[in-house]
A and B are shown apart, each in its own frame.
Chain A
């Protein structure tokens, strides 16, 4: 017993330390910090890292919120001020973001300015969409240009999910070139390259600056009908920065025409092929271009692990604690009022059937990006097991015991507190344990909406095709789930009354 109490004390101290650390990261992102977002592909991450380091070398606090997702998420985050700067491409702005506003290259600046957004245009390279396949396959089938694909209707296409949905993506391309193909799958861009290499798909969409084009010896098909427009790389920034951070705006304006296509391809391949970090490549660029020694912090394994652990625990602890505080009363109400109970368990059950990824994404319009939407989604996800186990734990107490308590003359509140809840404690605890384990696993998806955590290295690992990086997220997540389980097994000895453990 004494040992257990010491252990609990030790745990609470540890939790306290973690909480203090967490709150310090939560509050450090004050107004004095500039936030740079990036999309989920390497080139965008490098560009954002360059901006982040440039801001820092001008003595401005800057953080890089990496790999946030696709265009829509970044654009909306920029409008809401959740990020201040991110790199995008002219074609994307004209054909996708502002597609309904008749934007041309001429009025691009004015149209953006109406949304309170400024632009650094152009950065110097065109990263257009292209269609590609393995060179040997192309030669075998005599495919030179996109029109040639019409003669090979059985080819399997694997396109990025964004390309599948965009107006200037597959839908437009298919109509424009009158392509008959029906075997088209949406997938992650980096997975598509691997699919192509293993011949499980034949044709993919490319970004023309992708390092993999050379690496995998791919044939870029000629856009013979000139479907794809220009995708000049640009930086989009909130106009209010011109007042709040004039130095940063001056600095990023110097990036105009500073990155030719060959340099971008080289930087992409430094990261994707040679395994350098985006931070290092960005620092090298700044040194060569501006002769500034950029003081980036090379992330070590332990530093990343500590950072990811803090973020992951932050998500799990807050969402789980809230879920416990809400679910137990909900479970008790369900038990006391069966009609209400059917409703509560029905609703929490429906939430549980929503795929976790979808639930996370649903939160973005309501709460933006970052940890808050992830915490709310995880909270909702953790409700059902606790509510249901509280309900069944109370419901399963033998009638003779419940009736004895009533006939003794105890009030309903005393019965609940002294008899029913202690007797249901094992079941309630099992529910919390289930929720906690699900929560730890699901929280890895939080990285997709900018919440960080163990999902971050998994996401980066998928992007860079790096198994060690994927493991850097997956192994700690699995270990944390085990630790959580072990902690609950231990706490059962303290919480579940001794008389029930005989």
Chain B
């Protein structure tokens, strides 16, 4: 039991984004949230990192109830990567990476050692570190964003459509690399995507959501063989596989 959501409800302007959502995310595993737009999958991540607050229900992280008082200490244990990277455009890649460690009180040696470790892990070119985000390619930006999330070696990694804005070739390479990284680091990962292939590729467990509720969770085999309702089959069929097109 690591991240545990209990009866979470959240509404925006009277429309419900999450309805009585409950789930325990397993430690050391990669869980993928999937579902059509507006199903509440991104909202779930934003609640866990405290960017918004649920209307009712509780979020527990390692037996610690998430509240305003422990929010900042919990944030240091979470790495969060979003679709456009969220890099600070006025800082170089290195400065983007160093900001939080400096704030936490790391010395320069510790920071540059950690950056070296991460550039090797993510295959990021060393000379790219002195560049500004505007000078980096889309793939490189996401690598910096990933490194920034990993700097303080967090226990949890949350990804909100991290590869959504990349072109297919770069996306393919990064998918492979990310999977390697997840495997080697043995972190608890929650990844949001709308792409079933990506979900199958990454997910130890897949959560299919619709209209703020969890419809089914399990592996792709469970979804294919024992769909709990017709929507599951419909959603899987709507995502054509490459083989089918051929």
A: which residues have CB within 8 A of B?
A: 400-401, 403-411, 414, 418-419, 422-423, 497-500, 502
Contact = CB atoms under 8 A, between A and B. Distances in A.
Contacts of A410: 99-100, 103
Closest CB pairs A-B (n = 8)? A404-B86, A497-B90, A499-B132, A409-B75, A499-B90, A502-B134, A407-B80, A400-B86
Contacts of B51: 403, 406-407
B53 to A, nearest CB: 13
Contacts of A406: 50-51, 75
Interface string B70-89: 00100110101011111111
Nearest to B49: A407
26 contacts: A400-B84, A401-B86, A401-B87, A401-B88, A403-B51, A404-B87, A406-B50, A406-B75, A407-B50, A407-B75, A408-B80, A409-B72, A409-B75, A409-B76, A409-B100, A409-B103, A410-B103, A414-B103, A498-B90, A499-B89, A499-B91, A499-B133, A499-B134, A500-B89, A500-B90, A502-B132
B62 interface: no
Nearest to B71: A409
Nearest to A403: B51
B145 to A, nearest CB: 8
Give the interface centre of B50, B88, B100, B103 by most chain A CB atoms within 10 Å: B88
A407 B76 CA distance: 8
B88 A405 contact: yes
Contacts of A403: 51, 82, 86
A499 B92 contact: yes
A401 B49 contact: no
A interface secondary structure, majority: helix
B135 interface: yes
B148 interface: yes
Interface residues on B, range: 20 to 34
A419 B86 CA distance: 12
A502 B99 contact: no
Contacts of A404: 80, 82, 86-88
B80 A419 contact: no
A52 to B, nearest CB: 57
A400 B86 CA distance: 5
B132 A498 contact: yes
Contacts of A409: 72, 75-76, 100, 103
A406 B76 CA distance: 11
A423 B89 CA distance: 8
A71 to B, nearest CB: 58
Given A410-B103, A414-B103, A502 B135 contact: yes
Nearest to A414: B103
A400 B142 CA distance: 14
Interface in B27-77: 49-51, 72, 75-76
Residue of B78, B85, B103 contacting most chain A CB atoms (<10 Å): B103
A499 B94 CA distance: 13
B183 to A, nearest CB: 24
